[in-house]
Structure 1
Amino acid sequence: MNAATLPIISMDSLDSAEGLAKLRHAASDVGFFYLVDHGISYDSQQDYLRLSREFFQLTSQQKQRVDMIRSPHFRGYNGMGSEMTAGRLDAREQFDWMNEEQAIPEVKLTQPWQKLIGPNLWPSAMPQLKPALTSLQQRLSGITVNLLQKLCMSLGVDANALDHTIGEQPYTHAKLIRYPGQESPQQGVGAHKDPGYLTLVMQDTQSGLKVERDGDWVDVAPIPGAFVVNIGELLELASNGFLKATNHKVESPKQGVERYSIAFFMAAQLSATVPVLPLPDELRARASGPSTDPNNPLLTDVGNNVLKGRLRSHTHVTRRHYCQQTARTLLANSFAQMPITDICNECTI
């Protein structure tokens, strides 16, 4: 078993004051922790990781049939060099899926983020993928909602303080990810913070995930059966900076080795606005406000905050689906006050 490089939190411990205090410390001091006793067995995790390997072993033609370029909702397959983080291409391939929903007709769009709503793309060559990943999505959603409520309790506010931002179910986004080996170290995914409430990561046995702590990059060694959890920007915002969204990245494995992981991102509904929680005086005095990046400002309206990240990360999809006049007008109205980064010759965001 690999040595832990982050705090280890047991879900079973979170019914006690001691367990909640440990959770609060991990979420505020580090922003990352291992989660155990979460209800998804090691064997079940291995089944999902095997399914992920099967998907990436499909032929290029089979994967291209569900390429993200076909989806204005940013769902589907991305080949190597299709996603950017911090302005640089990532050395990974992945498959993205989100909540299964019906797309809103173009003429009925009133906000640009509404274009994110829609169906997933599923490969006909793997009919077992949709039911398996939909089931995983539901299970991880339940874990994150429970964990979010425990985090609220650890902050001294009502467990259900953020439930109204979630509604019947949270907004979720998940990825199957493959990092192929490289001759020299490369950016598997560049340094970034996650935009939502919580992220769960299921790792295989290969290391590569690194967390920034005090200016150094700490390796997050895989622990069998444990999820890696990190705090997202929406929770940093809701806690006025008491909880920390932490920079993290993945370095590509060495040549001859592959790394597989499954990442699950949980956030408020796209239509929600995130409130600032009424923390007790002691915690409020230690909250320094959310961190700011002038090149990537954090927005309290969830939909536009999510869309901003998608537009910048998947510029090929942006050019294909967000350069029509209707979409461009909506984008201009919603992001008029933001610093801009070139997406294409005519569109900026």
Structure 2
Amino acid sequence: MDVSSEPPFQKAYKTLIDKVDMIAVEVDWVETCELPVIDLSRLKLGEMEREECKREIAKASREWGFFQVVRHGICREILEKMRCEQRKLFKRPFYEKVNDKYMNFSAGSYRWGTPSATCLRQLSWSEAFHVPLADISGLAGLASLSPAMEQFATKVSDLALELAEILAEKMGHRSEFFRSNCLPSTCYLRMNRYPPCPHYSEVFGLMPHTDSDFLTILYQDQVGGLQLVKDGRWIAVKPDPQALIVNIGDLFQAWSNGVYRSVEHRVVANKQVERFSTAYFFCPSYDTVIESCIKPSVYRRFSFREFRQQVQEDVKRFGHKKGLPWFVIQN
């Protein structure tokens, strides 16, 4: 039995790889920049410092759709334990990772590559475990991973709620919407690994996309590779060992009537070094209705279930997500 931990990219996507000279992904050199860095410890200081910190969060969400937070209240020990357990998980044999009876995760939690890819530009050279927070405590066969995930998720959930309520407040809304609809049982953790890729100049680690949630909080290593669109061009994000990255998702763009921006981003492949990251997705229940908080609305009312179904249809039909443009009200 093959005990290799590596997904069989070369074998599974041989037909696409053999066409490498005919189809190439344009991953040119891009400028590296630092995202806005926001010190969240100021939220515990006087009124002036708190308000200035909140204004910076809202400004970055309007202008960038991305920002970094430091002194965020999640201790280094929790972050390092999460990364250690994540590395151990991905080192397990591939045949175990794809077999639910070995992993104790829900069916379909482990994902690798892009099954729907019809060309190299649609292929993501990565593997991931996409885990509902509701499943974490039941991971009986993963004794050391489960508490690490639970500690990490608890802290990041609190941070996501705090940031969402700040962004709502800066829109003039002090509602219970996020506290009532984005519960631990409706949110997700995604543990990502990007293996070294011999076709790094033709394939993405993760193809360009926007996130289908309210907020994403990312804990990444120092390898780098995350890129985003700013002012119509791709820029590379410089890793910061002290920071977590926060980005606005599609639902927040719709809820804020386009004030906060869900920005396209991607991960480029690396020829020599593997990359790890853990993403937390701040999501509502599928029945939650998303409605713009400012009138007249740019977007029509829709449920999260309807949005997710549309994304799945897009991927089947086009090979990639279209997302929010389907929900714009046509004048």
- Normalising to structure 2: TM-score of the pair? 0.74
CA-CA distance at 1:161 after TM superposition: 4.7
8 A Cα contact 2:112 2:125, kept in partner: no
Question: 2: distance between equivalents of 1:165 and 1:187?
Answer: 34
The 1:49/1:312 distance shift into structure 2, 3 A limit, reads farther
Structure 1 runs not aligned, ≥5 long? 102-118, 291-297, 316-337, 340-349
The structure 2 residue matched to 1:37, chosen from 57, 71, 93, is 71
2:153 is equivalent to residue 134 of structure 1: no
Cα deviation, residue 23, structure 1: 1.1
Q: CA deviation at 1:307?
A: 4.2
Could you say what secondary structure the match of 1:100 adopts? helix
Name the SS of the counterpart of 1:150 in structure 2.
Answer: helix
1:270 aligned residue: 286
Instruction: Check the 8 A contact 1:170/1:267 in 2, yes or no.
Output: no
Distance in 2 (CA, whole Å) between partners of 1:174 and 1:164 is 20
Cα 1:214–1:4 change in 2 (3 A) is closer
Quick one: which of 12, 16, 22 aligns to 2:56?
22
Amino acid at match of 1:252: A
Question: How has the CA–CA distance of structure 1 residues 210 and 121 changed in structure 2, closer, same or farther, with 3 Å as cutoff?
Answer: farther
Change (3 A) 1:307 1:274: same
Structure 2 CA distance for aligned equivalents of residues 74 and 83 of structure 1: 18
- Tell me the CA shift for residue 173 of structure 1: 1.5
Cα drift, residue 11 of structure 1:
2.0
Q: 2:225 aligns with which of 208, 228, 232?
A: 208
SS in 2 for 1:206: coil
* Counterpart Cα distance in 1 of 2:83 and 2:167: 28
**Can you give the 5+ residue segments of structure 2 that lack an aligned partner in the other structure?**
1-31, 318-325
Equivalences, count: 280
- Which residue of 126, 151, 159 corresponds with 2:167? 151
Distance in 2 (CA, whole Å) between partners of 1:78 and 1:120 is 21
CA distance in 2, matches of 1:223, 1:146: 22
Aligned match of 1:303: 305
2:206/2:267 contact within 8 Å kept = yes
Report the equivalent of 2:236.
219
Query: Does structure 2 conserve the Cα–Cα contact (< 8 Å) formed by 1:97 and 1:121?
Result: no
Aligned CA distance change for structure 1 residues 133 and 56 (closer, same or farther; 3 Å): same
Distance 1:144 1:23 in 2: 12
Note closer, same or farther for the CA distance 1:20–1:240 as it changes in structure 2 (3 Å cut): same
8 Å contact from structure 1 (residues 42, 224) kept in 2: no
Length-normalised TM-score, structure 1: 0.70
The answer on whether the counterparts of 1:41 and 1:225 sit within 8 Å (CA) in structure 2 is no
CA root-mean-square deviation:
3.4
> Measured at CA, do residues 145 and 243 of structure 1 come closer, stay the same or move farther in structure 2, by a change above 3 Å?
same
Aligned equivalents of 1:156, 1:20: Cα separation in 2: 13
Equivalents in 2 of 1:314, 1:95: separation in Å?
21
Q: Identify which of 191, 206, 217 aligns with 1:189.
A: 206
- Cα 1:61–1:137 change in 2 (3 A) is same
Using the alignment, how far apart are the partners of 1:88 and 1:58 within structure 2?
A: 27
Q: SS of the residue aligned with 2:100?
A: coil
Q: What does residue range 88-99 of structure 1 map to in structure 2 within 5 Å?
A: 88-99=122-133
Number of the residue aligned with 2:97: 63
- The answer to whether the 8 Å contact 2:122/2:207 transfers is yes
**Is 1:259 matched with 2:267?**
no
Match of 2:246 in 1: 229
Contact kept, 8 Å, 1:172 with 1:264, in 2: the verdict is yes
